[in-house]
């Protein structure tokens, strides 16, 4: 018979505090490490990311079709 598993450590939950509603919220680094942070550059209008990170996050429909060809 196996020994019972020790209880799992509770997850560390930190609130996500944006410096402003107009700041980029692209995550940088490994979550759970002291170096983890968010971009905080100015976000594009109507987007949660700055122009650089929005270019990574959003793929045009046309681009996806070209990749499949």
- pLDDT at residue 65 greater than cutoff 60: no
When pLDDT is averaged across residues 27-44 and rounded to a whole number, the result is: 94
Work out the burial of residue 35: count CB atoms within 10 Å of its CB; fewer than 13 is exposed, 13-18 middle, 19 or more buried: exposed
Q: In 3D, which of 24, 25, 6, 5 has the Cα closest to residue 15? A: 25
Q: How many residues does the chain have?
A: 69
- pLDDT at residue 11 greater than cutoff 70: no
| Euclidean distance between CA atoms 15 and 39, whole angstroms | 16
Mean pLDDT (the chain) is: 80
Contact 37, 44 (CB under 8 A): no
Read off the pLDDT band of 29 (50, 70, 90): very high
- Between 18 and 33, name the one with better pLDDT: 33
| Euclidean distance between CA atoms 54 and 63, whole angstroms | 15
């Amino acid at each position: 018979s196996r020994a019972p598993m020790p209880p799992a450590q509770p997850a560390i939950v930190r609130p996500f505090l944006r410096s402003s509603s107009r700041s980029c919220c692209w995550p940088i680094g490994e979550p759970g490490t002291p170096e983890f942070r968010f971009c905080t550059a100015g976000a594009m209008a109507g987007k949660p990311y700055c122009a650089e990170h929005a270019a990574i996050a959003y793929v045009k429909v046309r681009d996806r079709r070209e990749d499949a060809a």
